[in-house]
């Protein structure tokens, strides 16, 4: 990142319980499609998307981490040096929301530097009618940590593009600020 021609590399993680829609959100954003058939992520799924973020050449490296504890030894080393995290829960699954505290602990224990990363909490499956988590609980959770909240639907695409674009912008802005401090 020494000059305007250099490429910014972003390491973005998707974190949360199984079946909350982490992979579907990434697919919806990158490929503009919804995968209806559930296929569990084995360990870590990786993808890259090149784009311009805030006018800067950027390669977004997605690490879609399995929520299955059977893969924690594979998953846990990926937390270190991530610039962005989507911490996903299913709006119709209360346990996936209460488990965000567990995921916060896992991220911290495995080297995620909260001061040097952007974390967005994502309530997925907004298109379903029966929601099992109250908005006031979500608001209290994110406010306490100083994080942002997005409600999305990987199925319909609602708010997915906005989520990722804002995440990338905040990550690039954070990196640029850190770079200026080093000068």
Q: How do the domains of the chain map onto residue ranges?
A: 8-182
Read off φ and ψ for residue 134, nearest 5 degrees: -80, 140
| Per-residue pLDDT reduced to its tens digit, 107-145 | 999 999 999 999 999 999 999 988 999 999 999 999 999
pLDDT of residue 6: 87
Q: How confident is the model at residue 5 (pLDDT cuts 50, 70, 90)?
A: low
- 174's enclosing H/E stretch is helix 160-182
C-alpha span between 123 and 179 (Å, rounded): 32
CATH no. for 8-182 = 3.40.50.300
Residues with Cβ < 8 Å from 141, sequence gap 6 or more?
97, 100, 121
Mean pLDDT along residues 96-113 = 98
């Amino acid at each position: 990142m020494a000059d305007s021609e250099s490429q910014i590399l972003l390491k973005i993680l998707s974190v949360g319980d199984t079946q909350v829609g982490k992979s579907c959100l990434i697919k919806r954003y990158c490929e503009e499609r919804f995968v209806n058939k559930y296929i569990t992520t084995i360990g870590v799924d990786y993808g890259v998307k090149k784009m311009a973020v805030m006018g800067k050449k950027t390669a977004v490296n997605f690490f879609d981490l399995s929520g299955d504890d059977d893969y924690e030894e594979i998953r846990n080393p990926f937390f270190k040096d991530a610039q962005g995290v989507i911490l996903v829960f299913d709006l119709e699954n209360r346990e996936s929301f209460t488990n965000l505290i567990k995921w916060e602990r896992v991220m911290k224990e495995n080297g995620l530097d909260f001061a040097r990363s952007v974390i967005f909490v994502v309530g997925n499956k907004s298109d379903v009618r029966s929601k099992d988590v109250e908005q006031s609980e979500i608001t209290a959770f994110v406010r306490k940590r100083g994080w942002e909240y997005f409600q999305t639907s990987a199925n319909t695409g609602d708010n997915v593009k906005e989520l990722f674009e804002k995440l990338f912008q905040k990550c690039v802005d954070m990196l640029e600020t850190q770079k200026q401090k080093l000068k």
